[in-house]
Amino acid sequence: MLIMILLGKRSYQFNELHRSIESISQRMLTRTLRGLERDGLVSRTVHPTVPPTVEYDLTPLGRTFLGPLSALADWAVVHGPDIAAAREHHDAR
Amino acid sequence: MLIMILLGKRSYQFNELHRSIESISQRMLTRTLRGLERDGLVSRTVHPTVPPTVEYDLTPLGRTFLGPLSALADWAVVHGPDIAAAREHHDAR
DNA sequence: CAGCATCCTACCAGATACTG
DNA sequence: CAGTATCTGGTAGGATGCTG
């Protein structure tokens, strides 16, 4: 989700993404990007420069997913605290 | 998601849910329901009858999640085939 | 810069059997 | 009916080191 949301704003390079999402390991970032690419949601463009740069973008299909995604993200922003509260209340008993 | 969508329509009992979602094991159904309950999205009401019946419902908070959820489900219905196609196209090469 | 290869472990979830 | 208990194989993902 974070990757998709970032790419929804602009293109990113690999390490740029990695820096923007510190909590993800390199391995998982690669795997996730490959999965998204495989599913046709993200495009991966290699620029044959030295050193090489790789540009990640949302595909048109990927962009259609931004709607449902922000519906989810907005919900999380509003109701996330409620869930945290429910959990604590549950733990307490 | 399937559980939430079903409970969005009406109350269910445990085995009723299990029958409605054949692909889930009893263990996972229990675990998932406990998680949803813990997060305050689903309520679990035990009716002290013999044999006991347990009623599952969405909480008010759970109901607020139906919007984002159907946004996702609708997207999947429309674009699911696109993803399948992207995968095959990817596998082919 | 943008990864891949390898090793290792903790957790996940299925199968199966049992219970108030 | 509505679960719990136990065992177990499989895998997800972190850590680390290497490469064109």
In chain B, the domains with their CATH numbers are: 2-92 (1.10.10.10)
pLDDT in tens, A57-79: 999 999 999 999 999 999 999 99
Residues of chain A in Cβ contact (below 8 Å) with chain B: 37-41, 61, 64-65, 67-68, 71-72, 74-75, 79, 82-83, 85-87, 89-90
Neighbours of A39 (CB within 10 A): 19
pLDDT at A91: 74
- pTM of structure: 0.91
Phi and psi at A55, nearest 5°, equal -110, 130
